[in-house]
Amino acid sequence: MQTYKVVVMGSCSVGKSALTIQLVKNCFVFNYDPTVEDSYCTQLVVDGETCQLDIIDNTGNKEHQAWRHQFMHHGEGFLCVYAVDDIKSFVDVNICDQLHKMKDADHVPFVFTANKTDLTDGLVTQVLGQEVARSFKVPFVETSAKTQKGVEQAFQELVREM
């Protein structure tokens, strides 16, 4: 069975932990507890093949950037998450550019992920998210950790990219 090292990245409060816990434990966490770093292991079926994901749920806190760089260095694939109700989180997702520089590669496997799509007061449109993903030449997936929408799909797309 193939094992993939996945890093979930993005600003604070975008739902990185909620997405990861929804995938791994099939439940939604209502309480926000800022993450420094958590790791999870789960199996996922992608195109009929079972694989193992070793997932690092990375901090969005800028005070821990040294850790973020360490995770970026060791990760094989990246779920770059922003919240549709937070313009700043969308702008801050420029970590994708950092990935290309750090990995010194033309192609770094990542999925541009819009989270909290269950909210009706979204500020970042689907079209804008798709345009940015297209500019990076990566998949775009809309998710809601709360409703489970697109959660498994986002991780499956990342495995396909890897």
CATH number of the domain that 86 lies in?
Answer: 3.40.50.300
Query: What is the reported pLDDT for 106?
Result: 74
Query: What is the reported pLDDT for 70?
Result: 58
Residue type, 81: V
pLDDT, averaged per 10 consecutive residues of the chain (162 residues), comes to: 93 92 92 67 97 84 52 81 95 72 77 95 93 93 97 98 94
Two tokens at 136?
A: 């990076």
Contact yes or no for 56/158 (Cβ under 8 A): no
Other C-beta atoms closer than 10 Å to the C-beta of 63 total 8
Query: What is the reported pLDDT for 64?
Result: 44
Predicted model pTM: 0.89
Contact yes or no for 77/58 (Cβ under 8 A): no
Q: How far apart are CA 79 and CA 10, in angstroms?
A: 8
Q: H/E element holding 9?
A: strand 2-10
Residue 96's domain comprises: 2-161
- How many structural domains are present in the chain? 1
The residue count of the chain comes to 162
Which CA distances in Å does 49 have to 2, 59, 108, 138? 9, 30, 22, 22
